[in-house]
Every structure is written in structure tokens, then in C-alpha cells.
Amino acid sequence: PEIRGDSIRKRFLDFYAARGHKLLPSSSLVPDDPTVLLTIAGMLQFKPIFLGQVPRSYPCATTTQKVVRTNDIENVGRTARHHTFFEMLGNFSFGDYFKQQAIAWAWELATKEFKLPVERVWVSVFEDDDEALAIWRDEVGVPVERIKRMGAEDNFWSSGATGPCGPCSEMYFDFHPERGTDNADLNDDSRFIEFYNLVFMQYNRTDDGQLEPLKNKNIDTGLGLERMAQILQQVPNNYETDLIYPIIARAAELANVNYQTADDHVKTYLKVIGDHTRAVVYLISDGVYPSNIGRGYIVRRLIRRVVRMGRLLGIRGDGRGNQEGAFLPTIAEVAVGMSGDVDPNVQQQKTKIYNELKREELRFVQTLEKGEKLLEELLTEALEKPVNDKPCLNGKDVFRLYDTFGFPVEITEEVASERGVAVDLAGFEAEMDVQRKQSQAAHNVIKLAVGGAAQEMIARVPETEFLGYNELSSSSSVL
């Protein structure tokens, strides 16, 4: 009798609604905010209230927010807990309740509502936040061995150099309590999973770097729905929860493989397909179409990854007998079918979604076939002009095959080695690095400038354009 993902979502929202929170819908994945490309956290729709630019219409609110985090793309399918698309459940206080109440409710939710055994819940606090530590220890009763102080990198949220900021406190679930409390490391993901983050927005950082207390202290939280489902459904990773597994099962069926007995390599491909399929379905539903710029480029790259991995798994055609057809719509149907409680709009947009997916997939398959031709030419050339007697593909060409034609380096290597040609992996990595370095701008930071995002943009137009360019390269480097 496992608890379904849909019911976890409902119970979280009901819990906070029953405690006076206004239940609001998720906002779009396309944020109403020029400082981030996509919605990366539940707080984004409330940013103007937190900044005091817009008066609050209710003292506190609760939502499930559709989120896409491209900075986690390299973790997808590799860690048990990271997605590009996921749902972030949240409760928010706009100058209403603060630390003590937020902690008390988070604990009640975890241990009473979701019935996590108390001895399996650990918490982190910001190293200087004695107040939070005292609340967890003295009021909630968490033994000090299960409270860890952490540094600013993990446990202090800020918006940039100045503006509202504050310490965080995270809740973790322990999969291996038998390992004891000595030397336990909350960042050890073979043992722990972070599921809930509480941000205590209590300071304003002034121009001279001082922290001054905010008059209106705010609460911003995020709980990963898929992570809570993993814990409650007792499965080894988020992908095997009922929120994602049906998509994987459909892909496995088309590829004619058995996920449960497949090797890790195949499982990773299937997990990436499960993840990215959800992402592209919700992104297209929110009006982001494949293109070569900005958000559209992210969708394009996600689709290409799914197509590439589907083909590596041997999926051809639409999986229903039409060899010329596209398989992505066949898989996306499952994600669309599960979307009702998240976003009713997806069902209404489904024809549009399938058409976009189909068109993009068929176009990309042509590109892949062109890439195969190019690879052939490069191999012939390498064999004709060996370097120091050794035929070798240079890093720039391998990178071009990867970046422009979607060829994963393993495939290039495999084909090359069949022909007795080596691959300059160091050169390829160097090219990757160049792109990665350009991408540090990372849209995973929500900028909260007291002057207001729009004003900030206007004040820094040239810089902003430059960042836009970097964001573009960043997406291509990670996908």
C-alpha cells in the first residue's frame, strides 16, 4: 500500500492550507523575470513580494512549482536524486511566521504527516545560526548528533552582493541508520538524501557588506516531490517512483529491454529519457519551442539527447510499426497522461506538444545522418594523413561532431577504433572546458536586487547581453 506521488503532493498542500496558507497554482516555467532563463525555484513568483515591490495579498502561501534546473543536467541519471524537471513543493511566509514556526511545521509534516521515523531525520543549520540549532535541539528535540553545522556555500542563501539574504536549514533522510552517528557526512549520497530546504530570509546585506536585520522576515522553502516519493515508496532512486517510472517503462518497451535486469549503462539512458521527456513536455506546454536561442535552445538540446539515447537503445521509428515515424510522441504520451494534477494545461496542449516533438526529432535524425557522413570523411582524412604514423581524430573535430551533430564522444571513439583511428580525448576535453568556463554565469542564481530586477537590467545592458551569449554556450556545453 504505497503512497502515490499525487497523494504526497496533495498532502503537503493540504497540510499548509489547513495552517492558513493560501493555495496558489504553479507559475509558468517561463519566469516573469529577466534575471533567470527558466523557473528554478518555488520562490520566484513571490520575488516582488519578498523585495517589498508589491504588497502581499495574503500573509503566507503554498504551491507546487514546476521547476527546470539545467545546472543539474550532468547529474541526471547518475545521481539518484537530480532531475532537470521536477516539482518543488513550498510554503512561504511574507513577513508573517518565521523560523520557529517554519521549523515546527516542517518537522510535523515530515514525521507526523509523512511518518518518517524520527531517528532517520537529520538536519543541517548554517554554522553561525545558533538560533536555528537551539530550536531543532531544544524545542523539536533532535539530538545534537543529528544536527550538522554547514558553511555558507550550502547553507546561506543570498541574492548577490547586496539585498535580502539569510541562513538555511535542510532536512535529510538517513537510508543507513546502522552506520551510526560518528563521522556521518550529510553530503554522502550513498547514505543521505536532502529533501527539504528552509530559507530564513532575515537580513539585508548593505553596500558595505554589513548584515542588518530585515523588518519583515520571510520564509522560503522547497521540498522535492520526487525525493519524498523515493523515500516513502522505498525505491532506490527518484526515477523508480510512480512519478517517472511509467515513462521509463514505455521507453524500455520500445527499445525491447528490461529495465530491471538491464546494465547500468542502459539504465542511465532510460533515466535520462524519463527525465528529459517530462522536461520537454512541460516546457513546450508553457510555450517554449525548439530553436537556436535561449530557452528554445535548451528544449532543442533536451530533445536531441532523448533522440540520441533512444537510438543508442535501438529504438527506430515510432515504436508502433512506422519506421519513418518519431518515437518521442509515443513516450511523451505517458508524461502527458500523468500531468493532470500538476498542470491541467498540458492535456489541452497535447497535440501541439506531439507535433513539436515529432518535427524536431525527425529533423534531428537527418542531422545525425549528416554527422555520420562527416565522421566518415574525417576518418578517411585521418587515415590518409596520420600524425607521427598514427591516424587520429583531433579534439576540435570530435567536439564539432558532438556539439553540432549530437555525436557523443563514445560513439565517435567506437566508430573510429573500428577503423583503427585514435581519438584525441584531451583535445576534446579542452574544447569542452572552454565552453564550460564561459558558462559560469549559470542561471541557477536568483538575483534579488533591492533596486528591482528591471532597473538592474537597464543599468547594465551591455553586460546583460554578454551574459545572454554565455548562457547560450553554457547550454550547449552541458547537453
Q: Which residues of this protein are in contact with ligand ATP, per CB under 6 A?
A: 69, 72, 81-83, 86, 88, 194-197, 222-224, 226-227
**How far apart are CB 44 and Mg ion at their closest, in Å?**
16
Question: Closest separation between CB of residue 384 and Mg ion, Å?
Answer: 48
**Does 473 contact Mg ion by CB under 5 A?**
no
HEC profile of the chain: CCCCHHHHHHHHHHHHHCCCCEECCCCCCCCCCCCCCCCCCHHHHHHHHHCCCCCCCCCEEEEEEEEECHHHHHHCCCCCCCCCEEEEEEEEEECCCCHHHHHHHHHHHHHHHCCCCHHHEEEEEECCCHHHHHHHHHHHCCCHHHEEEECHHHHEEECCCCEEEEEEEEEEEECCHHHCCCCCCCCCCCCEEEEEEEEEEEEEECCCCCEEEEEEEEEEEEEEHHHHHHHHHCCCCHHHCCCCHHHHHHHHHHHCCCHHHCCHHHHHHHHHHHHHHHHHHHHHHCCCCCCCCHHHHHHHHHHHHHHHHHHHCCCCCCCCCCCCCCCHHHHHHHHHHCCCCCCCHHHHCHHHHHHHHHHHHHHHHHHHHHHHHHHHHHHHHHHHCCECCECEECHHHHHHHHHHHCCCHHHHHHHHHHCCCEECHHHHHHHHHHHHHHHHHCCCCCCCCCCCHHHHHHHCHHHHHHHHHHHHHHHHHHC
Minimum Å gap between C-beta 80 and Mg ion is 13
Least distance (Å) from ligand ATP to the CB of residue 382? 39
Q: Which is nearer to ligand ATP, 82 or 350 (CB)?
A: 82
Q: What does each C-alpha distance from 413 to 89, 333, 377, 386 come to in angstroms?
A: 43, 34, 15, 16
Pick 78 or 115: Cβ nearer ligand ATP: 78
The residue (of 275 and 360) whose beta carbon lies closer to ligand ATP is 275
Grid coordinates given for 368:
545525425
User: Facing residues of 125 across strands?
Assistant: 149, 169
Answer with the entry of ligand ATP, Mg ion, none that 217 interacts with (C-beta below 5 to 8 A by kind): none
Q: Which does 358 bind (CB under 5 to 8 A by kind): Mg ion, ligand ATP, none?
A: none
The region of 125-133, 189-197, 397-405, 438-446 touching Mg ion under the rule CB under 5 A is 189-197
Point out which span in 43-51, 194-202, 228-236, 263-271 binds Mg ion (CB under 5 A). 194-202
What distance in Å separates the CA atoms of residue 240 and residue 43, rounded to the nearest whole number?
28
Query: 77 vs 222, which CB is nearer to ligand ATP?
Result: 222
Least Cβ distance, residue 167 to Mg ion (angstroms): 12
Name which of ligand ATP, Mg ion, none residue 86 binds, using a CB cut-off of 5 to 8 Å depending on partner kind. Answer: ligand ATP
Residue nearest to Mg ion (CB): 197
Task: Report the residue from 159, 197, 238, 473 that binds Mg ion according to the rule CB under 5 A.
Answer: 197
CB of 124 to ligand ATP, least distance (A): 10
The interface partner of residue 88, options being ligand ATP, Mg ion, none and the CB cut-off 5 to 8 Å by kind, is ligand ATP
In the bound state with Mg ion, the residue whose beta carbon lies nearer, of 197 and 476, is: 197
The option from Mg ion, ligand ATP, none interacting with 330 (CB < 5 to 8 A, set by class) reads none
CB-nearer residue toward Mg ion: 73 or 334: 73
Shortest gap between Cβ of 72 and ligand ATP (angstroms)? 4
In this complex, which beta carbon is closest to ligand ATP, that of residue 44 or of residue 313? Answer: 44
CB closer to Mg ion out of 129 and 424 = 129
In the list ligand ATP, Mg ion, none, the entry touching 304 (Cβ below 5 to 8 angstroms by class) is none
Q: Which stretch binds Mg ion (CB under 5 A): 197-205, 255-263, 283-291, 463-471?
A: 197-205
Residue with Cβ nearer ligand ATP (81 or 250): 81
Binding site for Mg ion (CB under 5 A): 194, 197
